[in-house]
Structure 1
Amino acid sequence: MALITYNSLLDVIHARVTSAAHLRPEVLPVEVGGETVHLDLPQARAALYERPVDEVLRREVWRRAVALGQHDALASAIGSTEVTGWVEAVVWLALPHLRRVARQAAGRLGADRRDVESEVVLAVVERLAEVSVDDPDVGPDLLRAAGRRGWEFARRSASGGRPVEDIVAVADARTAASTEDLWELAISRPDRPDGLVAPLRLTSRSAVEGARLGELADHLGLREVVHRTHRPHRGPRLGSVSLRSTAVGR
């Protein structure tokens, strides 16, 4: 029987980045005091969260990691094989904050923690493509984006709201219920060689159908014909017009 090793997206990311079974970046080169310092990933993450925090080193770690992550994202987008895993590594550097957001948001608002984890990871990846490495606040920017996304998702879940997955289906359903449905104009007339010999009489069974008949008459250039049918004098009925929807179930 196969066992599920992990039940958390954040645990999976941690295992992938730290496992020797995966080719992942091992060293982050950063510029500190005019010198290049090579930090392994645990050292880089320690520089972000351990006290006391060296703010200069912290900013440089985020700046360099984000730059490498953006390079990897671009390489992946163009189908390059030179992808070194820095997008995933940036998420791993943010893991302590992501875990805290997922735990607190899910715990306080009753959302599914696994769903919140997916949202915060997605927020980091999306924001990674937008931030500037020249921004000294680039790292906290990523963390704030993840925090906002996680709490907003948890609040929607708590209020019963859910993301709409099939936008096309929703749009089609609204269109089917609107007055913009397609309609067919069916004309029957006597089997006579001279065709209709009296004004065309249009009838409707409701005010809504009458309005649609008017719109259709305008579209077909029959407004004057319809107008003449409203005169008090009515000739013999020699034909009929019916209007029906082409929508299924009408």
Structure 2
Amino acid sequence: MMYPPHSSAFASVRRHFDDPRISDAVLVIVPPDAHGAEPARLTAAETHQALYGPGSDPQFTAAVWREVIRTAQSDLSPHGTGKLLAIWLALPRLAGTVHRVCARLRADRSDVEAEMVLALLEKLADRDGASRLSGSGLMHAARARAWHLAREGLRELPSTRIERIAQDQALTASGGEADAPAEESLDVRVDRPDGPDGLCAPLRFRVRPEHLRRQGIFVDTGDGSQDRPAGHSPGKRRRPGRRAGTPPVRPAGRRA
């Protein structure tokens, strides 16, 4: 079975229950109903089937969720499967929300899934509301956290702290003044690479060209020319350098 990348929280939980030793173990015992039926002893796979299989009984489904939540809240073992079972059973009802959040707000899938899992664990650990918690309450908490995470990401404002630190270090190393003209510095932007790992957002900071030349870094200045490191002479073979980020470094505008 194909899952999202290894960093996906949902995929990790699914892989755990792919193990027959886990999926075939009896994890949930649903007490008898008002008619005096025998307790239902369900394996993990049977519990999933009872909740999402064809012809599921709404009354029995509610009873199963109550028992799943009770099992998860009473499981205090660090290696127990009670809480993982509750998360696994919630995934079919959360996958659609993950897709919508990522498509509409361009959120990172790994971040959204991890935030949902965290919300589920926090609700299961809340002793004050333990008796009132239901399957629908679990889903609502996870969905609300996912949308909140994505919307907060859209409202993030760029910080100038990194570029101020980089500029101060460059000025100190070159013996320049702190109020050097802004046109003598360069804006550097490091984009987030493709894939689930790496930077969570682009980085921007400002450095002096002299600092880049001392480090032997070749800089694309945006006008088709390349700045060269200090000590370069036409008679010597130039060592290949590395660019300072993509898109190319460009001169900073004059400060107000």
TM bucket, shorter chain: 0.5 to 0.7
1:141 to 137, 160, 164: 137
Q: Does 1:63 align with 2:63?
A: no
Equivalent residue letter for 1:127: K
Cα offset, 1:161, TM superposition: 6.2
Q: Does 1:40 align with 2:55?
A: no
* Residue in structure 2 matched with residue 89 of structure 1 by the alignment: 85
Q: Who wins on radius of gyration, i.e. which is larger? A: 1
Mapped partners of 2:130, 2:102: distance in 1: 31
* Residue in structure 1 matched with residue 171 of structure 2 by the alignment: none
Mapped partners of 1:43, 1:11: distance in 2: 20
Mapped partners of 2:100, 2:63: distance in 1: 29
2:121 to 114, 122, 125: 125
Mapped partners of 1:133, 1:59: distance in 2: 16
State the SS of the aligned residue for 1:6: coil
Provide Cα deviations, 1:174-227, integer angstroms capped at 9, x if missing partner. xxxxxxxxxxxxxxxxxxxxxxxxxxxxxxxxxxxxxxxxxxxxxxxxxxxxxx
Mapped partners of 2:67, 2:136: distance in 1: 14
TM-score of the superposition, structure 2-length normalised?
Answer: 0.52
Q: Does 1:54 align with 2:57?
A: yes
* Residue in structure 1 matched with residue 27 of structure 2 by the alignment: 27
CA contact (8 A) 1:124 1:142 kept: yes
* Residue in structure 1 matched with residue 101 of structure 2 by the alignment: 105
* Residue in structure 1 matched with residue 223 of structure 2 by the alignment: none
Mapped partners of 1:5, 1:24: distance in 2: 26
Q: Call closer, same or farther: CA 1:141–1:14 in 2, change over 3 Å.
A: same
Cα offset, 1:20, TM superposition: 4.0
Mapped partners of 1:161, 1:96: distance in 2: 34
Cα offset, 1:25, TM superposition: 4.9
Q: Call closer, same or farther: CA 1:51–1:155 in 2, change over 3 Å.
A: farther
Mapped partners of 2:53, 2:138: distance in 1: 18
Provide Cα deviations, 1:3-23, integer angstroms capped at 9, x if missing partner. x97342101111012214769
Mapped partners of 1:119, 1:31: distance in 2: 32
CA contact (8 A) 2:98 2:146 kept: yes
Provide Cα deviations, 1:22-56, integer angstroms capped at 9, x if missing partner. 69954321124332011222221232234544222
Equivalent residue letter for 1:58: T
Structure 1: 5+ residue stretches without partners: 77-82, 163-250
Equivalenced residues, count: 151
Cα offset, 1:155, TM superposition: 1.1
Q: Call closer, same or farther: CA 1:25–1:87 in 2, change over 3 Å.
A: farther
Equivalent residue letter for 1:55: P
Output aligned runs, 1:169-248, within 5 Å: none
Equivalent residue letter for 1:148: A
Cα offset, 1:123, TM superposition: 0.4
Mapped partners of 1:88, 1:5: distance in 2: 19
CA contact (8 A) 1:17 1:88 kept: no
Q: Call closer, same or farther: CA 1:55–1:133 in 2, change over 3 Å.
A: farther
Alpha-carbon RMSD: 2.7
Provide Cα deviations, 1:123-168, integer angstroms capped at 9, x if missing partner. 0000012265543x61110010001001111111223369xxxxxx
CA contact (8 A) 2:29 2:40 kept: yes
State the SS of the aligned residue for 1:94: helix
Mapped partners of 2:136, 2:110: distance in 1: 23
TM-score of the superposition, structure 1-length normalised?
Answer: 0.53
Mapped partners of 1:13, 1:68: distance in 2: 17
Q: Call closer, same or farther: CA 1:57–1:152 in 2, change over 3 Å.
A: same
Equivalent residue letter for 2:80: T
CA contact (8 A) 1:29 1:37 kept: yes
Cα offset, 1:98, TM superposition: 2.3
